[in-house]
Amino acid sequence: MFEYLILRGITLEKTIYGFTKTVNLTYQQTIEKVTEELKNEGFGVLTEIDVKETLKKKLDVDFKPYKILGACNPPFAYKALQEEEQIGLMLPCNVIVYVNDESKTVLAAVDPVASMQAIDNQNLLKIADQIKNKLKSVIERV
């Protein structure tokens, strides 16, 4: 189920675990633009998983263009690790770009607050909220 958030005139779909936006860019343009916007918010992309390529190689199945970007903001990751030693299980923050069944490019980012609700640590939730705001800003600007 989707909720819709309207921020600064931009509509984002909100699921219980992330934020989504359909964009008017190609798949490759979206990957380039979101990587640039992540950098502007202090994130680096640590991992890139090309799901389409992986599924073809491992299972010999065809799948739509779909990429998972593992984004990390080092200062926030450090703060989170100081609060919760095993928080690395929840890192990095995943951002996905894919082409949907209507041939439109979709961009989505995890909601770190939703991810952190399983952990009883209020300081960690404050950090997650700051990261959430940065990721929402990234999605808005693409």
**For residue 79, is it within any domain?**
yes
**For residue 16, is it within any domain?**
no
Q: How many domains does the chain have?
A: 1
**For residue 74, is it within any domain?**
yes
Q: Which pLDDT tens digit goes with each residue over 86-132?
A: 999 999 999 999 999 999 999 999 999 998 888 889 999 999 999 99
**For residue 17, is it within any domain?**
no
3-state secondary structure of 13: strand
For residue 83, the domain's CATH number is 3.30.310.70
pTM: 0.88
**CA 71 to CA 45: how far, in whole Å?**
4
Angle between helices 74-83 and 122-141 (to 10 degrees): 160
pLDDT computed for residue 7 by the predictor: 47
**For residue 13, is it within any domain?**
no
